Chains A and B, each alone.
Chain A
């Protein structure tokens, strides 16, 4: 009898410990939010808007507002939770706007930093560039410009070819797009992008040569205006040609 009582007590103690453990775990997992009134809690969140700097700050605030909403739903009812959500929403929008403004400022700063580094590097390269006579410089520039003109001509042809392929792709069997034509269009687009990149590189190298002349000799040689227009304009001309 005595042994049986001990055994029962032990089972009861284990059971009690188990229940306490379960309660303790659920308590630890519950968000530790002290609810006051929807107005006061929404205002508390609103006060944190001014502290938003990073994307992470914004996510944390949104999460906090959501946790409050859940807590109101859990502790009161859906209507109170909706009331809280309506009160806090303008603050969350304001926090998002603040973050957007900061992001724009960060992008502007990054662009300025890159431009600063690029200017210094370009001037450094230009100062170290070995220049020939004015005639030689003009010849190099003329060669580069001829290469640009060729690339622009090539872009025109590729654009026309792309338009033809697009027409062929649409007029395929059963109104569905011809996969082979689409793949070919993708290849042509890559070629066009490659040519545009090459043109930009050539134009940049011409700018560097002219900068080197200005720095080292005080002035750049007079270069005749190129006959072919800029890439964008050439591209536009190509499109109008195709349309005609």
Chain B
């Protein structure tokens, strides 16, 4: 019985890790500047045009995920570009 529980827990952990891996955003460092420009534009205007709080919350999660990804994977100029472009769009509100 104990072994079955251990095996189930291990399987759950593997599935959990796999799902987490799928959710992670991987930024192509060769095109980081283009991705920063495109994503800040796309997500920034999605937040700008959100028609409800629920809609905004979903976009916010995406904006923050990309912010985290740029910060942890790329950094430097591309990260700064993502932040500044998004800020520029949101400040129009």
Using a CB–CB cutoff of 8 Å, the interface residues on chain A facing chain B are 105, 108-109, 112-113, 115-116, 119-120, 123-124, 127-128, 211, 214-215
- With contacts A123-B56, A127-B53, A214-B93 taken as known, whether A116 is within 8 angstroms of B86 at the C-beta atoms is yes
- For A113, the chain B residues whose CB sits under 8 A away are 83
B90 CB–A CB distance under 8 Å: yes
A112 x B83 contact (CB < 8 A) = yes
Could you tell me the distance in whole angstroms from the C-beta of B54 to the nearest C-beta in chain A? 9
- Inter-chain residue pair count (beta carbon < 8 A): 43
Q: How many residues of B contact A (CB 8 A)?
A: 19
A-B contact pairs, 20 of them (CB 8 A): A109-B83, A112-B80, A112-B83, A113-B83, A115-B83, A115-B87, A116-B86, A119-B87, A119-B90, A119-B91, A120-B47, A120-B60, A120-B63, A120-B90, A124-B56, A124-B60, A214-B93, A215-B50, A215-B56, A215-B93
- For A109, the chain B residues whose CB sits under 8 A away are 79-80, 83
Using a CB–CB cutoff of 8 Å, the interface residues on chain B facing chain A are 47, 50, 52-53, 56-57, 60, 63-64, 67, 79-80, 83-84, 86-87, 90-91, 93
A211 x B86 contact (CB < 8 A) = no
Could you tell me the distance in whole angstroms from the C-beta of B57 to the nearest C-beta in chain A? 8
In the assembled complex, the Cα of A127 lies from the Cα of B79 at a distance in Å of 27
Cβ-closest chain B residue relative to A116: B83
A211 x B93 contact (CB < 8 A) = yes
- For B60, the chain A residues whose CB sits under 8 A away are 120, 123-124
A128 x B83 contact (CB < 8 A) = no
Could you tell me the distance in whole angstroms from the C-beta of B18 to the nearest C-beta in chain A? 29
A128 x B53 contact (CB < 8 A) = yes
- For A215, the chain B residues whose CB sits under 8 A away are 50, 56, 93
Could you tell me the distance in whole angstroms from the C-beta of A103 to the nearest C-beta in chain B? 14
- For B52, the chain A residues whose CB sits under 8 A away are 127
